[in-house]
A and B are shown apart, each in its own frame.
Chain A
Amino acid sequence: MLDVIDLNLEFHDHLVPETVVYDFDLHMEPGEIVGLVGESGSGKSMTALAIAGLLSRHDMQKRGQILFEGKDLLHCRRSELRELQGDDIAIIFQEPMTSLNPVYRVGPQVEEALRIHRPELSAEEIRQRAMEMLKEVDLEDAQRVYDSYPHQLSGGMRQRVMIAAAMICDPKLLIADEPTTALDVTVQAQIVKLLRRINREKKTAILFISHDLSLIRQLCKRVVVMQGGNIVESGTIEEIYEHPRMAYTKKLIAAIPGYEKKYDSGEPNLRQNEILRVEDVRIRFALERHSLLEKRKYKEVLKGVSLTVREGEVLGLVGESGCGKSTLAKVILGLEKPDEGSVFHQSQRPQMVFQDPYGSLNPARKVGWILEEPLRIRGGMTGQEKKQRVRFMLEKVGLEEKIAERYPRQLSGGQRQRVCLAAALMLGPRLLVADEAVSALDVTIQGQILELLFSLKKEMGLAILFISHDMRVVYQVSDRVLVMKDGLIVESGDVDDVYFAPKHPYTKELLAAAALQEEKGGERDAGTVLS
């Protein structure tokens, strides 16, 4: 059905032409699901766009062939391409919010492809079809969704709408470009299920593009691994996952977080003294009032949270977006005042490593200045001493001295996160709060940063509050774990107890969602317990 032969994509917007995809080959049969995996910058999205016929930039040179049922999409007329787009080939994207037109209602957007490709249908027939389609993607209240604007729906609903809009003409090929990356784990699992059902019932072939190897393994029969614009390796799931031939593939597969303890947190006998106690903290935010007369309503974000962190331990905190875990972090750090309850610190203020290494470093200042800032504020150090301390910390986090003279924007994501770590450790805190500290990074970099974090932890005897949505990473790093939902801690305990004998239904749901992306092989304990 689809044959991509020697596809080369080259940008010409710089002085030196930049090739983003080299000699890409792909063969797909009708009804097949093929995975395309790679880290950011591997060229996987460019390839997807090229196949969907969406690379029309003038400064881009495309060579090779993309044969869809024998027709070369790269060299056919635009009108011929347009006939296929939306009808036989459909695509969904990572960000459903921005992929939908914000100023139109959802209904007409779902219908659009049908209106273009089936002009013979009446408006009523088209509407009916759209309603059916919305129901088919498990949107219960189809009429309400039909009449909503994109911003009024949740992330999962928007992605369902995107799928409905893509599937409305019954395409033969659906290209899914990181369709679950922006979603919560439980929603992710639902979307993957939905895609699988569509593939089974409608025999739609799916080209599934993702950076998430466990997700690909779950969904696909065959997989293509890309790096830096090249195909590294391709084959069936078994071949690639069980017997990877290339070093890069091996590295990727090794980096998939599984249920194994990778990071040892050092001597347990240290963990006697409490260094942080949070008691029954409540926080509420005022909701917007609809009229001046209305009584002000509040939304409780934290509904009475208590926890303790002991010296030298790693406490994991898992929960989905909106559960209040970031607010809790702010309360602990003293960035937000609780309405009720109290926070006791044993030592000086805890420090924090943020999720987004792009936002947490002042873009207008050089790295050296940023690292010196805590010392300057504390005072009592000469310029020379400060410089020395900065050099020492940079070395500790594995960065070269000259980085101090750079601006944050000149660094890579991994380097920035190292700088953040150095900044947090500048004053020698006893407790570090890591809020999704590795979530924004590529898997291989993720591994390196965790490695670094734990070697520093052992060396300095730090305690860490590790906040994440990723069940597996939390398992790898934590001694104890807290599960949070809607502003409450629903379960807590030793990490093995919580993961292997969960008591609360929500914990079970989270683990099930994570297991869906989990490798099918039963070599790990977790797999057997959870299945």
Chain B
Amino acid sequence: MSNKLLWRATKAVFVREMRSELRSRQALNAVALFAVCSIVAVSLGLGPLNRSAELPLIHAALLWIVLLFAAFTALSRVFVVEEEQRTAAALRLAAPPHAVYLGKLLFNLVLLSALTVLIALLAIVLLRMQVKAPSIFAVMLAAGALGLVSGTTLIAAIIARSSSRSALFAVLSFPLLIPMLVTAVRGTALALAGMGWDRCLAPVQTLLAYAVALFITSLFLFATVWED
């Protein structure tokens, strides 16, 4: 399989996902509503918070908890729907496994990016989250989203082949996401508090290293999950 064919197949898988999603809007509607509900619930529940030295950390933690659970509802769909609608066999026979993985990873990345932007905006408006270093904040969220997607896409493929799908997704993903989550919360808090790159570079590097390590491992393991 030459790289050109692989890229073409990857693009086809990605475009197909986008097209199906734009027609049915199943994932987007459900997850966007989920995001709105949880941010509203958090803001109502907390009420106004005093500005204190810990506020950025509290905001960062809430932001990532909402993102994490939105990801749990959104990111397993790419594989679960294929099994539920029984389209998996046709895809398995036609497409190279790596193209399936990469295409779906890209789609998950786009979906999670949209979600992240939505949740961050809601948090700024409803939680009155102050972002003192916006560009670092954006980089931190992007790196965190990369980590989240590369950590969960293989798990999504695994749980799609089990019998208790949605419940298992969070159970399997959570322990693997803890290091990434802790780093992302810390880093985001630093960005919210307006720290410079001298302190924010390390968490971004950690998140990227995590994303790359899991991405490469997933590439090795995916064919095994996807076969038969």
The answer to whether A binds B is no
Residues of B whose CB lies within 8 Å of any CB of A are: none
